[in-house]
Amino acid sequence: MEDLLVDGHGRRISDLRVSVTDRCNFRCQYCMPADGLPWLDRTAVLTFEEIERLVRIFASLGVTDLRLTGGEPLVRRDFPRLVGMLSRVEGLDDVSLTTNGYLLERDAAALVEAGINRVNVSIDSLQRDRFFQITRRDSLPQVLRGLDELAKHPEVHPIKVNAVAIRGFTEQEAIPFAEFARSTAFQVRFIEFMPLDADHAWSADQVLTGEELRQIIDAVHPIEELPREPSATARVFRFRDGTGEIGFINPVSEPFCSDCNRIRLTAEGKLRTCLFSIHETDLREPLRSGATDADIERVIRDAVWRKELKHNVGEPGFRQPPRSMSAIGG
């Protein structure tokens, strides 16, 4: 037991989120400026072999769940090959993916064959013009085709659709998304808008809370809460008539820090112990300067021991991290 990765607050760390690129083919308003961000130099980004080595070390320390993110992971050249390398790492139970879905139609079969178990697809509106308004890309039909292509592979389960909840926008999306969850096999989840936008324009009054959305949906399609899984980010509800599920991820109004089991690795090899970390730990430099696995393990253990107790969003003195969501990894 003493070999497992535990932080200074007694939380066992078993979930690693790895960003494979900071690049993205969308420009979502809650994440990136309209004209994009300066991308990392390709030599700064971890190679597939470096990612695999780090994931093996984390898995040896008790990490069982791996989620691959970006930027947009599918824009990383030959990404399914990386999935294949990582899905063979001993100790991992689950290899999942977060994507905007734009390239899913092309890649779904290859990703499933490579070993992806679960997929989250970000869709903020089911109406084409409103999807364009948020993402600055007229791509909803292509994303929905990708979702349908993925759904042809029953071994990938569950497939979740994530929508960022923004006041003044998402109220109109709540019922269409509820009906989407009722008429498909996809679980829809609303994620409260977090202060991770590159423009640093976030303010608390833009947050449409999960509770407000729950009330909007419950008034039309009654829902009841399911028991929460340990370390789960979402409060999941099922429709009372038994058709479909809907989830609410409420990091602003109802933080779930107390049993957080997650850490993150950025595309250029920085370990972040909280989504909102101000400080990072460089793993790329030791990787590239001849450190042994044991050396890297020590660096990881030291960083994880200092993992933040909570993120402090909405509290006095909170500082938004200098990186935006696309540069951290979703």
- Burial class of residue 118, CB neighbours in 10 A (0-12, 13-18, 19+): middle
User: In angstroms, rounded to a whole number, what is the distance separating the alpha carbons of residues 266 and 299?
Assistant: 16
Please give the pLDDT value at position 330. 67
Alpha helices in the chain (DSSP H): 48-60, 79-87, 104-114, 128-135, 140-151, 174-183, 210-220, 284-288, 293-305, 325-328
For the chain, what percentages of helix, strand and coil (3-state, to nearest 5) are there?
35, 20, 50
User: In angstroms, rounded to a whole number, what is the distance separating the alpha carbons of residues 239 and 18?
Assistant: 33
Tell me, what DSSP letter sits at residue 275?
T
Tokens of 193: 């808008």
User: In angstroms, rounded to a whole number, what is the distance separating the alpha carbons of residues 254 and 245?
Assistant: 20
**Residue 189 belongs to what H/E stretch?**
strand 187-192
Please give the pLDDT value at position 177. 98
Please give the pLDDT value at position 282. 98
**Residues 310/320, Cβ–Cβ less than 8 Å:** no
User: In angstroms, rounded to a whole number, what is the distance separating the alpha carbons of residues 3 and 65?
Assistant: 17
From residue 329, how far is each of 64, 93, 220, 299 by CA, in Å? 19, 21, 35, 21
User: In angstroms, rounded to a whole number, what is the distance separating the alpha carbons of residues 193 and 102?
Assistant: 22
Mean pLDDT lowest for which of 166-175, 181-190, 197-206?
A: 197-206
Tell me, what DSSP letter sits at residue 258?
G
User: In angstroms, rounded to a whole number, what is the distance separating the alpha carbons of residues 125 and 128?
Assistant: 7
User: In angstroms, rounded to a whole number, what is the distance separating the alpha carbons of residues 5 and 13?
Assistant: 5
The answer, yes or no, to whether residue 2 has pLDDT greater than 70, is no
User: In angstroms, rounded to a whole number, what is the distance separating the alpha carbons of residues 209 and 22?
Assistant: 28
Of the two residues 93 and 229, the one the predictor is more confident about is: 93
Q: Quick one: average pLDDT of 311-330? A: 80
Tokens of 201: 């324009």
Helix axes 210-220, 174-183, angle to 10 degrees: 60
pLDDT bin (cut points 50, 70, 90) of residue 1 is: very low
Tokens of 309: 């107790």
How far does Cα 147 stand from its chain's mean position?
A: 17
What are 90-123's pLDDT values in tens digits?
999 999 999 999 999 999 999 999 999 999 999 9
pTM above 0.85, yes or no: yes
pLDDT bin (cut points 50, 70, 90) of residue 19 is: very high
**Residues 22/326, Cβ–Cβ less than 8 Å:** yes
Tell me, what DSSP letter sits at residue 238?
E
Percent of the chain at pLDDT above 70? Answer: 99
Please give the pLDDT value at position 206. 86
List, in order, residues 6 or more apart from 122 with CB less than 8 Å away.
28, 98, 99, 100, 101, 161, 162, 163, 164, 330
Please give the pLDDT value at position 245. 96
Question: What mean pLDDT is reported for the chain?
Answer: 94
What are 146-165's pLDDT values in tens digits?
999 999 999 999 999 999 99
Please give the pLDDT value at position 312. 84
User: In angstroms, rounded to a whole number, what is the distance separating the alpha carbons of residues 111 and 116?
Assistant: 6
**Structural domains for the chain:** 15-328 (3.20.20.70)
**Residues 238/215, Cβ–Cβ less than 8 Å:** no
What are 266-318's pLDDT values in tens digits?
999 999 999 999 999 999 999 999 999 999 999 999 999 999 999 988 787 78
